[in-house]
Amino acid sequence: MIGIFDSGLGGLTALKEARLLFPKEDLVYFGDTGRVPYGTRSEETIRAYALQDLRFLTSFPIRAAVVACGTVSTTSLPALRGAFDLPIFGVVEGAAIAAAKATKNRRVAVIGTPATVRSGAFPEAIRQAYGALTGNADGVEIISRACPLFVPLVENGFIEKDDPITALTCERYLADIREFGADTLILGCTHYPIIADAISKTLPGVTLINTGREAARLVREKLPPIPEEKGEARFFVSDRTDSFASVASVFLGSKPENVTRIDIGSY
Ligand code: DGL
């Protein structure tokens, strides 16, 4: 069993990929929908929330955890790894490697929450990955932008490709990246792939790196062979289950059946 968590729906982007890569493994997902967004909060608050989230997931017999949240991955991984004795994967490393491989013009953009951008973790990891690939860590130019409104747009279901509000928000946030001329964009928040079509409309021809997907791939690469389980997925949230299930169904392609509300404050 693998545990996956995020501040809300975004981590489903990792779960979707994990389902494909680990078809026989049970998955347990926690979305902290009662406290989303994390990305506009302080590092201390994010860390405290993340510790509770993982404490909840470790009440299941999980063999590894995926921090399917860019904000937690860039601010709290050392604290989580220090507190729990199991393999914990974040979303930064896999995405940075994928971006270093994908860029042709050596211009990479990163978008994420304010906390993620403030951390500088993605640019650092991209330089490291690019250096490992080419021997010249400084041979890549990077631009980072925070896009805080994308998360509430996703959580509230403004996810259609042609939604005018999402399109306008994309234009406002991504115009600088178009001007910079990046050919590769890391969606450094796991919520963003859910509006990938709208982002691509604003930045045509740019390769989008889905952090959740890359994290699941890295887990596949690093974890030993998969146990034969039932391949079930259970979902837990910290607020209303109906709104989670309806947005999740658009993204996952079918309505998640097993959604339960929990009191995360008690963990
Ligand atoms: N999915 C998140 C991330 O990857 C969270 C966004 C938020 O809660 O602000 O950063």
Walking along the chain (267 residues) 10 residues at a time, the average pLDDT comes out as 94 92 94 94 97 98 97 97 97 97 98 96 98 97 97 88 96 97 97 94 97 94 85 94 85 86 96
What is the sign of the dihedral through the CA atoms of 203, 124, 21 and 56? negative
Quickly list DSSP for 54-121.
Answer: HHHHTTS--SEEEE--HHHHHHSHHHHHHH-SS-EE-SHHHHHHHHHHH-SSSEEEEEE-HHHHHHTH
Catalytic residues: 69, 189
CB atoms within 10 A of CB 77: 20
CA of 149 to the centre of ligand 1 (A): 11
**Please, are residues 75 and 115 in contact by the beta-carbon 8 Å criterion?**
yes
Residue 21: closest CA among 250, 168, 231, 171:
231
Q: Is 5 exposed, middle or buried (0-12, 13-18, 19+ CB in 10 A)?
A: buried
Query: Which among 32, 89, 189 is the best mutation to test ligand 1's pocket, defined by most ligand atoms within 8 Å of the CB?
Result: 189
Query: Which among 33, 53, 66, 190 is the best mutation to test ligand 1's pocket, defined by most ligand atoms within 8 Å of the CB?
Result: 190
Ligand 1 residue neighbourhood (C-beta within 6 Å):
6-8, 10, 36-39, 69-71, 113, 116, 151, 189-191
Q: Using CA atoms, how far apart are residues 128 and 67, in angstroms rounded to an integer?
A: 21
| pLDDT of amino acid 11 | 93
CA of 182 to the centre of ligand 1 (A): 23
